[in-house]
Amino acid sequence: MIAGIDLFCGVGGLTHGLQQAGIDVKLGIDVDPACKFPYRSNNKAQFIHRDVIQLSGTDIRRVWGDAKITLLAGCAPCQPFSTYSRASRKSRPNQKWDLVRAFARLVGESQPDLVTMENVSQLVRHKVFQEFLEGLSGYHIWYSVVDCSEYGVPQTRKRLVLMASKLGPISLAKQRLSKPVTVGQVIRRLPALNAGDVDGFDPIHHACHLSPLNLKRIQASKPGGSWRDWPEELLANCHRKASGETYPSVYGRMEWDSLAPTITTQCFGYGNGRFGHPEQDRAITLREAAMLQTFPRSYKFLPKDEKVIFYILGRLIGNAVPVKLAKSIGCEFIKHVKAHST
């Protein structure tokens, strides 16, 4: 079996998918204490609250123990694009890429058999990514910006995926889906809510309040539409300017039979993108966002009776690796190892 460690593990999207594929992820590490409960409650792995920059290759190898095949995985947050570790950024100003470099250093020090990194697509254009590739001397390397909808994720989400192996050439094959999974297939059966309501059985199936003006706006919005559908009196000042034409998806509704937009850290807010529910007059809930990130409906994000803080859970859900993408990566590694062990 492959023994894995998930750096920058967040709430466990990457770990959950890898474990579904059959990989023994032993440990997740993250600097954000809010990740501890969801990670440990949903995954058969330990969690360490620690800054990855403080780790050494010896720490990593100690966790793997005598495993025959080892995997170092993670989504190294890029600080120019991420809200990861605000406190750490204040203490390390002008070090934009130190988390990616920490990942590369740990690969070099621990020498896993397998490596995978999921990240924002913009990273591929930056020098630090080339440095990361140069640090993978002795590995067979594959990377690409992938369309997550091709792996069963119901979003227009594109992400950089890197896979590397000491065993032989590797790549992430496209799944042969007959058609993409849609918004309706994923969230249509959840209980209906009004803006501001919460499901009595699921505290994160919780819709943000809407102001009276925004309630009128969403009532005037069509599925797949935007603020351009509104009557003149509902338009915001920014929409009346020529610059407003560059934001056609703001205040949009999703469509049942289409993909969702990329789920972001602010996806619970109606005015933050095309995050309006397809037919209910509200933005999507945190549970709906998590399910569109392909977390199981039963995935636990908060201890019982703990208050929902939208911006914290929105950040954790929006930054997560989609579970189905992670499972596809894990299945590819399993197949790869079997092919090179005969």
Active-site position among 78, 148, 267, 331:
78
Q: Which two tokens stand for residue 70?
A: 């080892």
The span from the CA of 13 to the CA of 74, in Å, is: 10
Report the 10 Å Cβ neighbour count for 240.
Answer: 10
78 is catalytic: yes
CA angle 182, 186, 188 (to 5 degrees): 100
> Annotated active-site positions, please?
78
